[in-house]
Every structure is written in structure tokens, then in C-alpha cells.
Amino acid sequence: MLSSISKVCSTIKKPFEEEGRYMMDKETFRQQGYQIIDWITEYYANIEDLPVMPDILPNAIKAKLADSAPTTAESFGDILQDFEKTILPGMTHWQHPSFFAYFPSNTSPYSLWADVLASSMNAQCMSWITSPAATELEERVMLWLRDLIGLPGSFVGVIQDGASTASLCALLSARERFSNYKINRQGFSDEKFTIYASEQAHSSIDKAVRIAGLGSEYLRKIEVDSDFALIPEKLEQAIKKDIEQGYTPLCVIAAMGTTGSTAIDPIQATGDIAKKYGLWFHIDAAYAGTALLLPEMRWMAKGAEMADSFVFNPHKWMFTNFDCSAYFVKDKDALIRTFAISPEYLKTNADEEVNNYRDWGIPLGRRFRALKLWFVLKGYGVEGIQEKLRGHLKMAQWLRKEIEQHRDFQLLAPTPLNLVCFHFRPKELSDIKTVNRLNKSIMDLLNKSGKIFLTHTSLDGVLTLRMVIAQTDVRQEQVENAWSLLQDQAKKSMEKLREGS
């Protein structure tokens, strides 16, 4: 890849040498653009030859970087070559088809092209007037998405940078609605709000509780069942106890697909309790929400119509570039009253008739993110997206079965979607600490090999290997390869352990 790029790059002269001023002419611009497209094309075509994760020591890349910024301009060819030499070896390749770690951040050509177009215009889409098409497209595609995932027409949507931000917006809106918008004006006085989420809730909920000034001591972590889903009875008990002790239950957050194991909290039962006690009901479906594009997966969302707010991330599993988080709310007035600030210099004649998305969240400035959603939906069509999702689910279920049937591997959580949670545990090993250490070492060695990348979590104190099958174009072949690498490494590590003891 390097040699083909370098050849063409060396023919490019510095763009402004002749001009004597720092402005790029049209032909140079075009040439550089072609260079980049060529580079990306080769990158994707050869991505499987690259290690999924670099095997390098901390600070190794930093050591290769100059101590200070360049004073004089470098040629574009030199910049690209330096990128290949210095930066590329330190990248983790999230689009590698053998990337099975965390949750994915998958993308697609449609999303990428849309992001290039959006970057080229680089509109700052804070208000309708600052780019009417961006605002109106966002409004429209969010309604498309709402309908596609089966949320009722009482919801409207807005794109946020991440689920963390969206959940913070939910907590802040709840706080303001419940305090009659007083805390925005006067700060906290003697409110004693409590918040509820399961023990398996994402860390962004803890963070949001802190940032919203609610205090992490007042976040009640509700016990989960053997499937790692919230136990509604425990939730109700906690709410009752807090009321008796003079607290005001403010908000309950249900996870539709936890990060640890994609456990699905009982949405209907949680919603019923939220309604009974008058709490704001937020659903964090950051990863799994994409599956709702499949009618056969809608069972997960039964009761979601009761929610006050709902978030899922097209930037995880819906082939849309990071960042793009879809946040839906029922009471958009509460959201806007929480965030709207209209200084004179931002007022326009259209304010009564249009959405100004700067008032629907935290940052003032916003990128044109709706464009990539629009391109993805048009490029694949709903059917195309559904087909890809079904493929991912099917491959994950294949892997689940293989693990289930293997004598020495064990599933550690249900597999409602495409995340498989498991460990290697031959019968002869009884001590869980040894099992955990063994599995950690299997994972580290596999990741170090660069052939695949997987990560772990802890479930009930058991080190759990996680494999997510959701890379845009991942094929059965790569999943089978990963499974065979896992078995080989497990066997080797076990032999080593036997020798050692």
C-alpha cells in the first residue's frame, strides 16, 4: 500500500510554491482528493493484512512525533507518507472484519461520502437559518428513524453526539421538569432526588448523575436477575423506601441491551412502575436499538411507548460514522425549556416556525450529521440494512451454538442479539481465580497476535470474554476463523498451565 501511494505522492508539488500565497489551486485540490480516495480504497481492500490492534508499547508513537509544530509547509506527499509511517502503525482498525471487541463503531461508504460532503461545506448547524436544509433533514430523518424502530408518533428526535450526552439531557430535563425549572434559575436548595438504574447500567449513567448535580450517592443500583436484567420488584421496593425516607424519586433508566452482556431490562414492567410513581422513564438502547429495525426483534421494546426519552446510537451498529446518536423525547418542551438560551445575536425571524437544534442539547455548535443518516438509509434502503443486521445475528447465533456444544467452553450470559459472552473452563479447573487468569491470558495473547480483537467484562466476578459480531461486512469465514483461533490458543494456554503446575 505504501509504495503505490508514495509513487503518486512524489509527483505532487507543494500547492502554493508558485502562487506565493497559502491558497490551493483547483487542480492540486483535485489531485490530493484522488490521492485520498485511492488511499482509502486500498486501505479497505487490504485491511485484513493489517493487525487489528497494534502490538506496541505505550508512548511509542509519541516518541516518533516532532517536539514542535512545523514552521514551513510540507508537501502533501510527505504528509501522507508520514501518516503511513508514523500514525497507521499505531491505529486499532475498527473496520477490520475480525474486530469483535467492545461494541463496534461500524461505518459504510455511504456514511463516509456523506461525511466528506458535510465536512466540505462544514456548516455550523446550530440554528435553522445557519443551514435550513440541515435542520429540516434532521427533523425528517429522525422521524423516519422513529417510525423504523417502532416508537409511536408522540416522540420527536434530535441527533446528539453520543448516548452519554443524550442520557445527560434526559436527566437534566427530568430535573428541570420536576423542579418546575427552578434549578436552572436558582441552583439546588433542598431537593433530594433519587435516580434508579440496574447494576449493569452503563457508566455514562453514573457520569450523567454527577454532571447533573444529583450526586452519585443518590443513584440507586438495582439488583439484576440471573440474566443480568433489572428486577422490577427490587426497583419498586427501592422507590418505596426512598419515598418513606423523604426522597423524591426522579428518574429510572432501563437498559435495552447492557454493555456487559446485552441484557434487556423488562421495559414494560419498568415503565409501569415509573408511571405509578410519576418518574421520568429513560431507555438506554445505545447499542441494541438498531436491532429494532427488525420487526422480529421488537419484543425487546414492548412498553417503550411509555418512555419519556429513548436513545440509540446509529454510530455503533447502523453503518453510520461516529458520531451520531439518535435521541427521542416525548415532551420536547421540557427539553427545550431546559436548554434554550436566546441571546439577541442568535434571534431570527423564523424562530416561531422551525427547530433550532442548539436549544435541544448542550453544545451550541453542531455538525451536519443528518446527511450521513440520510445517505445510509438511501444507500442500503431499509431492506439492505435489515439484511445486514440479520446476517450479524445469525453468525453470532452460530458462534453461540458452537460454544454451547463445546466441552471446555461455557456461555456466561444469554445471547439475545449478536454479543456472545463466554469463557474457557475445562472440568479439571475448579478455582475461579485460575480460570479468570487463564482466560485473560488467552485474550491477551490473541489480541497481541493482531489476528483478531476481542475484549472482556466481569459478570458475577467471572472474567467474561465478549465477542460482538457486527462489523459492517464481516463474513461467516472470519467468525469461524476467530473461533478456531480461540480454541487453539485455549488449548496451548491450558497445556502451559498444566506444565507449570
Ligand X SMILES: *Cc1c(COP(=O)(O)O)cnc(C)c1O
Q: What are the residues binding ligand X (CB under 6 A)?
A: 103, 162-164, 202, 204, 255, 258-259, 284, 286-287, 313, 325
Shortest CB 409 distance to ligand X, Å: 25
- In the bound state with ligand X, the residue whose beta carbon lies nearer, of 286 and 292, is 286
Query: How far separated are the first and last CA of the chain, in Å rounded?
Result: 47
Shortest CB 159 distance to ligand X, Å: 11
Shortest CB 23 distance to ligand X, Å: 38
- In the bound state with ligand X, the residue whose beta carbon lies nearer, of 286 and 373, is 286
Shortest CB 195 distance to ligand X, Å: 15
Shortest CB 455 distance to ligand X, Å: 13
- In the bound state with ligand X, the residue whose beta carbon lies nearer, of 104 and 232, is 104
- In the bound state with ligand X, the residue whose beta carbon lies nearer, of 174 and 263, is 263
Shortest CB 155 distance to ligand X, Å: 19
- With CB atoms as reference, the residue minimizing the distance to ligand X is 162
Shortest CB 326 distance to ligand X, Å: 10
- In the bound state with ligand X, the residue whose beta carbon lies nearer, of 173 and 258, is 258
Radius of gyration of the chain, Cα coordinates, nearest whole angstrom: 25
Q: Give the Cα separation of 401 and 351 in Å (integer).
A: 56
N residues, the chain? 501
- In the bound state with ligand X, the residue whose beta carbon lies nearer, of 9 and 163, is 163
Q: Which contiguous run of DSSP H or E holds residue 71?
A: none
The dihedral over CA atoms of 483, 489, 495, 498, expressed in degrees to the nearest 10, equals -90
Residue 471 burial (10 A CB sphere; 0-12, 13-18, 19+) = buried
- Residue 323: asked if its preceding bond is cis (omega within 30°), the reply is yes
Secondary structure (3-state) at 412: coil
- In the bound state with ligand X, the residue whose beta carbon lies nearer, of 325 and 338, is 325
Beta bridge mates, 251: 195, 280
- In the bound state with ligand X, the residue whose beta carbon lies nearer, of 255 and 279, is 255
**Among 41, 110, 47, CA closest to 478:** 47
Only one residue has cell 425516607, namely: 245
- In the bound state with ligand X, the residue whose beta carbon lies nearer, of 104 and 249, is 104
Shortest CB 312 distance to ligand X, Å: 9
- In the bound state with ligand X, the residue whose beta carbon lies nearer, of 43 and 102, is 102
**Among 89, 150, 461, CA closest to 307:** 150
Q: Give the Cα separation of 127 and 118 in Å (integer).
A: 16
The dihedral over CA atoms of 146, 147, 150, 155, expressed in degrees to the nearest 10, equals 50
Cβ contact 497:426 at 8 Å? no
**Among 50, 76, 93, 128, CA closest to 356:** 128
**Among 474, 437, 430, CA closest to 456:** 437
Shortest CB 97 distance to ligand X, Å: 21
Shortest CB 183 distance to ligand X, Å: 24
**Among 421, 429, 428, CA closest to 404:** 421
Shortest CB 390 distance to ligand X, Å: 21
C-alpha cell read off for 456: 472482556
- In the bound state with ligand X, the residue whose beta carbon lies nearer, of 328 and 483, is 328
How many CA atoms lie less than 13 Å away from 218 in the CB half-sphere?
23
Q: Give the Cα separation of 480 and 460 in Å (integer).
A: 28
Buried b (16+ CB within 10 A) or exposed e, 30-39: ebbeebeeeb
